[in-house]
Amino acid sequence: MTTQTLPLRREFSVEGEYRYDRRGPVRWILSHVLRYKRFLFSFLVASTTTAALFSAVPALTGVAFNEVLKPTPDPLRLLWIGVALLGIVILRGVTDIINAFSIEVLAQRTERDARQELYISLLGKSQTFHNRQRVGDIMARASNDVRQLNPMLNPGVALITDSLTSIIMPIVFIGFINPQLLITPLIFIVVLAVLLRDYTRRLNPVAAEIRGRFGDLNAGLNETIAGIEVVKSTAQEAQEKRKFARNARLVRDFYVKEGQVQARYLPILFYGFTLTAAFTHGLWLVQQNVIDVGQLVAFMGLMGILRFPTFISIFTFSLVQLGIAGARRILEMIEEETEMDENKAGYTAQMIGEIVFDHVSFGFGEGRMLHDVSFHVRPGQTVAIVGQTGSGKTTLTKLVNRIYDVDSGRILIDGVDVRDWSMASLRSQISTIEQDVFLFSRSIRENIAFGLGATATEEAIIRAAKDAQAHDFIMSFKDGYDTVIGERGVTLSGGQRQRLAIARALLTDPRILILDDSTSAIDSATEDKIQQAIHRVLEGRTTFLITHRLSMIRRADVIVMLDKGRIVAIGSHAELMERNALYRRIFARYF
């Protein structure tokens, strides 16, 4: 295990998480592989043994050739050579199995661990990070780039390792035959190394572009499918087709460039010249009585083994370069700094629900959303946040549970700065129900129980659904609570989705509840029932309301009026109607 530290700021981490070396894509890949040293060791031993056994075959063939050329060959000696060759073949089959099994395990586990590491990293990123990312590009990195690590190791690295041993072992055997025979193969190896270095240098930027362009292609595809309703309603299918074709063409063009680099790869041609030179040199040594005919046969057999690493290097180095390019993209995302820390050692306690905004300012980039916001909410109070579109209502509530952090000032919950709370303790006691409800493509039961997971009981789930006025429509489905809803809840109406979201929030028994226009898709009769249920279940809990519905605003204990990120008035509905012109205008427009 390396001592390389993980990024300091994360909103989520796993206890005992393995620490990988992230000082570069190659180091990162190696740290994944070195996690399984036993399989790496067995692979290297098996690969080396296989190459040695493979090289032993032409060496024994040369011995047999000399024996056959004798005036009176020894049958027993030829028999033993045959038995030895049979033994080598059988043993090579065993080492091949060990070799293949070991590298396959390494490749599969590396892919699994890398995907898990990236997923945990994404869970720990802040909302600000996710706001600026394209979902399709993230998916390309999490699926295709991670997947590229597998073929990079097997067959990529596996064949490169086999190629190295297939070069070293024949050179060793040739050296034992006669050191003078090493001249040609050593020259070949030096030239091959130079050509491979130039090949990888040319291939590396092309591989990086392939991975990047594929991410762009995937991001565009994801956006189009996610917004397919807009595409169809505006009849823009042809435009989206052209955009997709352009991105696909760019991916194709860079694959063609990769092929052009491979086509200019010269070692195969150079190997042919090397083989001719080696044979010529061997014949000359035979004429000089330095080696015999059998040794020449063995030498040429060993030179023939060098064809495999020469030929396969085109394929293997392409896989390795694509894998390294993918690893670089994965590592970029893992290492991108996030704004917040989970603060595991932070303050944990049962919330009472007192909230203080103390001269809070916040904004994205250079723009300011909130300016010097200060107000006090007592435990159990219901606060309505009112203002025109863009006044900062939703942003204000997202500072409470640290979806975003304040730029200046502070927010206190029960007298403790939210930045000093443990993130898990803080967020587990605050529930948010937004207008744009997100539901998972799972059963209704799992969606309601999401905030508690496996600890949620059936009775509690049903009670929360009844309180949210969702039980009746759930039971109207054939499978009831086991009904699997479509992605993002598309098989449900807007009102049904929002009632399930309210049930999910009620189940967690939050100390602080944030309702962001959460009843906009619910009819008035159902809304009244839901509000009665919320009022009954959450009595004594602090609630923030962002709404334009008069019934909910009137129920609030305090109304905070925002205008362009500043508080312009605080009071009850009657007080603001009497003394605030902007509030009266908004009220008149809405109601």
Characterize the bridge pairing of strands 382-387 and 558-563.
parallel
Query: How does residue 414 score in pLDDT terms, banded at 50, 70 and 90?
Result: very high
pLDDT given at position 7: 47
**What are the tokens at 312?**
């396969």
Residue 233 has pLDDT above 80, yes or no: no
Whether 484 maps to a domain, the answer reads: yes
pLDDT given at position 93: 93
Q: Report the distance separating Cα 146 and Cα 108, nearest Å.
A: 11
Of 207-211, 357-361, 527-531, minimum mean pLDDT range: 527-531
> What DSSP character marks residue 491?
T
Q: Are residues 434 and 580 in the same domain?
A: yes
Q: Report the distance separating Cα 491 and Cα 352, nearest Å.
A: 38
Q: Report the distance separating Cα 261 and Cα 78, nearest Å.
A: 48
Q: Are residues 311 and 386 in the same domain?
A: no
- Residue (of 69, 220, 72) closest to 137 by Cα position: 220
Residue 54 has pLDDT above 50, yes or no: yes
Query: How does residue 101 score in pLDDT terms, banded at 50, 70 and 90?
Result: very high
pLDDT given at position 411: 96
- Residue (of 513, 537, 511, 533) closest to 522 by Cα position: 533
Query: How does residue 73 score in pLDDT terms, banded at 50, 70 and 90?
Result: confident
Q: Are residues 100 and 166 in the same domain?
A: yes
Whether 347 maps to a domain, the answer reads: no
As a whole number, mean pLDDT of residues 184-209 equals: 86
As a whole number, mean pLDDT of residues 496-501 equals: 84
Q: Are residues 402 and 487 in the same domain?
A: yes
Which residues does 146 contact at the CB level (< 8 Å), separation at least 6?
111, 114, 115, 118, 326, 330
More confident residue, 411 or 321: 411
**What are the tokens at 216?**
């762009």
186: domain CATH number is 1.20.1560.10
- Residue (of 427, 409, 347, 341) closest to 373 by Cα position: 409
Q: Report the distance separating Cα 573 and Cα 591, nearest Å.
A: 13
Residue 420 has pLDDT above 90, yes or no: yes
Residue 186 has pLDDT above 70, yes or no: yes
Residue where the block lists tokens 């063009």: 253
Q: Report the distance separating Cα 66 and Cα 70, nearest Å.
A: 7
More confident residue, 134 or 3: 134
Whether 11 maps to a domain, the answer reads: no
Domain enclosing residue 586, as ranges: 355-590
More confident residue, 192 or 8: 192
Sheet arrangement for strand 355-362: 370-377, 355-362, 408-413, 416-417
Residue 178 has pLDDT above 60, yes or no: yes
**CB atoms near residue 251 (< 10 Å):** 19
Q: Are residues 289 and 365 in the same domain?
A: no
Characterize the bridge pairing of strands 566-571 and 558-563.
antiparallel
Q: Are residues 331 and 359 in the same domain?
A: no
Query: How does residue 75 score in pLDDT terms, banded at 50, 70 and 90?
Result: confident
* Residue 356: burial class (beta carbons within 10 Å; 0-12, 13-18, 19+): middle
Q: Report the distance separating Cα 185 and Cα 412, nearest Å.
A: 75
More confident residue, 583 or 251: 251
Domain count, the chain: 2
pLDDT given at position 4: 46
470: domain CATH number is 3.40.50.300
Characterize the bridge pairing of strands 416-417 and 566-571.
unpaired
As a whole number, mean pLDDT of residues 365-390 equals: 87
Spatial contact of 399 and 360, defined as CB atoms under 8 Å apart: yes
pLDDT given at position 365: 66
Residue 358 has pLDDT above 80, yes or no: yes
Q: What is the pTM of this model?
A: 0.79
Q: Are residues 198 and 235 in the same domain?
A: yes
Of 13-17, 85-89, 185-189, 516-520, minimum mean pLDDT range: 516-520
**AA letter at 187:** I
Whether 346 maps to a domain, the answer reads: no
> 303, 335, 367: which is the final residue of a domain?
335
Q: Report the distance separating Cα 462 and Cα 242, nearest Å.
A: 49
Residue-wise pLDDT tens digits, 5-36:
444 577 788 877 888 999 999 999 999 999 99
Whether 54 maps to a domain, the answer reads: yes
Spatial contact of 373 and 566, defined as CB atoms under 8 Å apart: yes
Residue 527 has pLDDT above 70, yes or no: no
Q: Report the distance separating Cα 431 and Cα 512, nearest Å.
A: 7
Question: φ and ψ at 358, to 5 degrees?
Answer: -115, 95
Query: How does residue 544 score in pLDDT terms, banded at 50, 70 and 90?
Result: very high
pLDDT given at position 276: 92
User: How would you write 512-571 as a 3-class SS string?
Assistant: EEEEECCCCCCCHHHHHHHHHHHHHHCCCCEEEEECCCHHHHHHCCEEEEEECCEEEEEE
Q: Helix 183-226 to helix 267-287 angle, to the nearest 10 degrees? A: 160
Residue 203 has pLDDT above 90, yes or no: no
In whole numbers, what is the pLDDT of the chain averaged over residues?
86
Residue 496 has pLDDT above 70, yes or no: yes
As a whole number, mean pLDDT of residues 557-572 equals: 90
Query: How does residue 132 score in pLDDT terms, banded at 50, 70 and 90?
Result: confident
* Residue 313: burial class (beta carbons within 10 Å; 0-12, 13-18, 19+): buried
pLDDT given at position 5: 45
Residue 493 has pLDDT above 50, yes or no: yes
Whether 17 maps to a domain, the answer reads: no
More confident residue, 313 or 110: 110
Whether 7 maps to a domain, the answer reads: no
As a whole number, mean pLDDT of residues 527-549 equals: 72
Of 2-6, 30-34, 116-120, 290-294, minimum mean pLDDT range: 2-6
Of 128-137, 266-275, 533-542, minimum mean pLDDT range: 533-542
Q: Are residues 160 and 241 in the same domain?
A: yes
Query: What radius of gyration, in Å, describes the C-alpha atoms of the chain?
Result: 35
Residue 74 has pLDDT above 50, yes or no: yes
Q: Report the distance separating Cα 48 and Cα 189, nearest Å.
A: 18
Q: Are residues 59 and 103 in the same domain?
A: yes
pLDDT given at position 198: 83
Q: Are residues 359 and 453 in the same domain?
A: yes
As a whole number, mean pLDDT of residues 528-537 equals: 62
Q: Are residues 322 and 424 in the same domain?
A: no
Q: Helix 293-305 to helix 307-335 angle, to the nearest 10 degrees? A: 30
Query: How does residue 360 score in pLDDT terms, banded at 50, 70 and 90?
Result: very high
Residue 239 has pLDDT above 90, yes or no: no
Give per-residue burial for 131-140: e unless 16+ CB within 10 Å, then b: eeeeebbbbb
As a whole number, mean pLDDT of residues 512-529 equals: 70
pLDDT given at position 556: 86
Q: Are residues 521 and 428 in the same domain?
A: yes
pLDDT given at position 17: 84
More confident residue, 554 or 470: 470
Residue 241 has pLDDT above 50, yes or no: yes
Question: φ and ψ at 415, to 5 degrees?
Answer: 80, 5
The counts of H helices and E strands in the chain are 24, 10
Residue 436 has pLDDT above 80, yes or no: no
How is 429-462 classified by DSSP, letter by letter? TEEEEESS----SSBHHHHHGGGTGGG--HHHHH
Whether 542 maps to a domain, the answer reads: yes
pLDDT given at position 364: 75
Residue 3 has pLDDT above 50, yes or no: no
> 290, 305, 335: which is the final residue of a domain?
335
Residue-wise pLDDT tens digits, 546-557:
887 777 787 788
Query: How does residue 96 score in pLDDT terms, banded at 50, 70 and 90?
Result: very high
- Residue (of 484, 503, 489) closest to 438 by Cα position: 489
> 270, 301, 335: which is the final residue of a domain?
335
Q: Is 328 helix (H, G, I), strand (E, B) or coil?
A: helix
pLDDT given at position 525: 64
- Residue (of 449, 479, 446, 453) closest to 464 by Cα position: 449
